[in-house]
Structure 1
Amino acid sequence: MTVDPDARPAAPAGEHSTRDRVLELVVSDGPVSAADLGLRLDLTSAAIRRHIASLEADGLVAVHESGHTGQRGRPARRYVATGSAQDPLAAGYTQFALEVMAHLEKFGGPAAVEDFATTNVAAREAGYAAALTATDPTARVQQLAEALTDDGFVASVRPVPGTQMVQLCQGHCPVQHVAARYPQLCDAEIAAFSRLLGTHVQRLSTLAGGAHVCTTNIPVGPPPGVPPDDRGPACATPVTPTTGTHPRPSGRTAEGMR
């Protein structure tokens, strides 16, 4: 029997499940350090390094330089999920969805795309509204995050230090590639969040726009006097907020993407 010298040895029983848990945390909590992953999963530094190296080799996680370790100013190595990890859709399904959207746009125009996006999100919004039973603003955002996670968006809530705001972070988007071409889907979603939470919310970054996470700023108390636009994102790669809710591709409009 011929042995491939480049083949990886089979992983011991249980290795894949632990590796999957590491990846799930990187998707939901990234950027996250190896030390944080070890604490969350009760694994040794050596074990975490092994799993991270394996995930990096498979193109599922990447280093995101952010923050400092506190040790002589060295930047902390933190990890985020790549597009390969965040996209479980088969390529064929994504292509089919894009072709359907293109057909809709061709024969119905931009208004038909907008109507589809609004109708699609409205179905989810009704379910989310039933799940938001808390009266406390932060608790309502947390309930929304849990409902989004149940729908496959891997959402979490993080406070923005020194502010009366939190950030809703979505580490995965089931329609990421479709939304990259048709940002009306993201626009409809952020409008739904605003209605559900009863406040103006601001989308800072999206997976569809090339960030490692979708990030939405949400006020949960009286503003302390600093405009929300001046606050840096706690869970996203810093971007310059746009006047719209989704950073549209440069030089392209919905009509120009047929």
Structure 2
Amino acid sequence: MQPNADLSTRDTILHLLKTNNELTAKELTDRLDITSIAVRRHIDTLERDGLIESRLVRQPMGRPTAAYHLTESAEELFPNRYSTVALDLLDELAKESGESMVERLFELRKETLYKKYSGKMNDKDFQDKLSTLTAIQNENGYMAELQKNSDDEYVLIEHNCPIAKLANQYTHACQCELRLFEALLDADISRPECLTKGGKKCVYRIRRRNQT
């Protein structure tokens, strides 16, 4: 029961900060039916998780007090319709110009991402490239983890897909991602499991290419 109560209070604090822009610990305590000590405990946890941050606000009398607001990471917890809007736009593009134009759009995105990330792979060995790619995917919300099978073979697992709605409709997005990984890593890659094909996660088997 206690974890549910904690989660409920955590969500309530996040929603209060979302609807009020920022609040002090005292203001949060006044709005919640818990003690100030409990509020402070939740604030500490939310700060540790990178969901809220504070700024000092000067008072007419006394010492400055901390006012808390949501971080950019916390904003992503709230509902948005970005993927729906993007999918609608791609559907309209497909109707007007054909699906080949949508595929070209994904190809251009792949080329843009390659230019963005290829510099981070310079002068790195195979494992460091893989670690860099894993970090990039985590920054982009894929919840990625890297497993090592041997010196030449690794498995990259993505537990989440931020573009799942788009990829379900336009599978070319997944093909472009695989080819992007191949280009960045200079590796042979297969994808035995994919979220868009009913899998529980996206799994990439990555093997170092023979160097001649």
TM normalised by structure 2 equals 0.60
Tell me the distance in 2 between the aligned counterparts of 1:217 and 1:122. 22
Tell me the distance in 1 between the aligned counterparts of 2:78 and 2:101. 24
Partner residue, 2:85: 96
Partner residue, 2:97: 108
1:162-177 equivalence runs, <5 A? 164-177=152-165
Give the partner amino acid of 1:128: Y
Query: Counting helix residues as a fraction of each chain, which structure ranks higher?
Result: 2
Give the partner amino acid of 2:96: F
After the TM superposition, which parts of structure 1 deviate over 3 Å for at least 4 consecutive aligned residues?
A: 8-12, 14-18, 87-91
Tell me the distance in 2 between the aligned counterparts of 1:88 and 1:180. 22
1:129–1:96 Cα change, 3 Å = same
The answer to whether structure 1 residue 205 and structure 2 residue 193 are counterparts is: yes
Tell me the distance in 2 between the aligned counterparts of 1:120 and 1:89. 26
Q: Deviations over 1:218-239 (max 9, x none)?
A: 01376xxxxxxxxxxxxxxxxx
Contact kept? 1:134, 1:140, Cα under 8 Å? no
Tell me the distance in 1 between the aligned counterparts of 2:123 and 2:129. 5
1:112–1:16 Cα change, 3 Å = farther
1:16–1:217 Cα change, 3 Å = farther
Higher RCO, Cα 8 Å, sep 6+: 1
1:68-83 equivalence runs, <5 A? none
Give the partner amino acid of 1:130: G
Q: Flag the structure with larger Rg.
A: 2
Contact kept? 1:179, 1:185, Cα under 8 Å? yes
CA drift at 1:134: 4.3
The one of 169, 173, 179 equivalent to 1:185 is 173
Contact kept? 1:121, 1:192, Cα under 8 Å? yes
Tell me the distance in 2 between the aligned counterparts of 1:181 and 1:141. 28
TM normalised by structure 1 equals 0.50
The answer to whether structure 1 residue 196 and structure 2 residue 168 are counterparts is: no
Tell me the distance in 1 between the aligned counterparts of 2:111 and 2:148. 27
Q: Deviations over 1:2-33 (max 9, x none)?
A: xxxxxx64555349948x96xxxxxxxxxxxx
- Gaps of at least 5 residues in structure 2 are 10-37, 50-75
Q: Deviations over 1:35-67 (max 9, x none)?
A: xxxxxxxxxxxxxxxxxxxxxxxxxxxxxxxxx
What fraction of aligned residue pairs are identical, expressed as a percent? Answer: 19
Tell me the distance in 1 between the aligned counterparts of 2:78 and 2:109. 18
Partner residue, 1:123: 112
Q: Deviations over 1:130-171 (max 9, x none)?
A: 1113442122111111122222223221013x6831011222
RMSD: 2.8
Partner residue, 1:147: 136
